[in-house]
Amino acid sequence: MNEYELEIDSLGRTLARLRLEEADPQIIDENEVELRILRALYEAARRTLPAGDHDPRLAAALESMGFGGWNLASVYSFVYDVAMDAETDGRDLAALIGEMDFVDTLLEVAGEPG
């Protein structure tokens, strides 16, 4: 289990405990939103990572933008930064992350054709 999975698992356990203890619904809602966002970020990074095995432009672009070498931590950092800068226009951030194409975004930010 990597650090992202551990964080997601920990937050999931916290959320389960809050529900069991019938905590304040606002706190439960906030934790649910955070968990959905973390899951979406991790899944987006996992979906993006294999693309770098087939397209060396991705690793070069990621490194040139200061994220480091092509690995899960660097790809996650890129996904996180792009997602946090995204205009949600009132939409659910986790759903928006799930719809984003981070490979194309990475190439676009790097000035490379998709």
How does pLDDT run along the chain (114 residues), one tens digit per residue? Answer: 899 999 999 999 999 999 999 999 999 999 999 999 999 999 999 999 999 988 999 999 999 999 999 999 999 999 999 999 999 898 999 999 999 999 998 888 777 665
Is 2 in a helix, a strand, or coil? Answer: coil
pTM here is: 0.91
Q: How far apart are CA 86 and CA 77, in angstroms?
A: 14
pLDDT at residue 114, rounded to an integer: 58
Q: How far apart are CA 58 and CA 28, in angstroms?
A: 38
How far CA 22 is from CA of 13, 25, 31, 34, in Å, comes to 14, 8, 13, 18
Nearest to 79 by CA among 110, 42, 104, 114: 42
